[in-house]
């Protein structure tokens, strides 16, 4: 049995399979995931798990070199934007309209669905390398 970090077998398997520059998404309970994209559904109920809890766990297991988020987060959820910038400091940041982020989701290796119920907690992450 794994003794720490992410214990969800599906999620840790998806993370372990990432290669350099692969894209993956973490989203809220309502973020649409395009047909054909594997979904790791962690949502239990509204707010569980939170986007932050999920990101903290994923960032403990993954190297991220860049991310894309919706423009709308600046106005609609500045606290979450501050959290993202703190956690991914020094990482390439890109903003696109939320409608474009939804289209970009078609190119991710997998999507993680959280129980988050706040505005625009959706992010596409680009895997880096550990060396």
According to DSSP, the residues that pair with 125 across neighbouring strands are: 24, 67
Whose CA is closest to 105, among 24, 15, 45?
Answer: 24
Q: Which of 5, 13, 16, 20 is the catalytic position?
A: 20
Ranges of each domain in the chain: 20-127
User: pLDDT tens digits, the chain, 131 residues: what are they?
Assistant: 899 999 999 999 999 999 999 999 999 999 999 999 999 999 999 999 999 999 999 999 999 999 999 999 999 999 999 999 999 999 999 999 999 999 999 999 999 999 999 999 999 999 999 99
Is 20 marked active-site?
yes
In what side-by-side order are the strands of the sheet with 123-127? 39-41, 111-113, 23-27, 123-127, 64-70, 92-96
Structure tokens at 6: 């992410």
Q: Angle at the Cα of 95 (from 90 to 100), degrees rounded to 5? A: 140
Superfamily of domain 20-127: RbsD-like domain (3.40.1650.10)
């Amino acid at each position: 049995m794994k003794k720490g970090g992410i214990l969800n077998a599906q999620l840790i398997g998806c993370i372990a399979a990432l290669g350099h520059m692969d894209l993956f998404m973490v989203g809220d309970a309502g973020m649409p995931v395009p047909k054909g994209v594997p979904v790791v559904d962690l949502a239990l109920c509204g707010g569980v798990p939170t986007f932050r809890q999920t990101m903290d766990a994923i960032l403990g297991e993954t190297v991220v070199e860049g991310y894309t988020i919706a423009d709308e987060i600046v106005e609609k959820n500045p606290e979450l934007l501050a959290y993202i910038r703190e956690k991914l400091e020094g990482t390439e940041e890109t903003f696109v309209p939320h409608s474009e982020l939804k289209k970009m989701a078609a190119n991710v290796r997998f999507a993680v669905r959280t129980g988050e119920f706040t505005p625009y907690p959706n992010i596409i992450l680009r895997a880096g390398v550990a060396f």
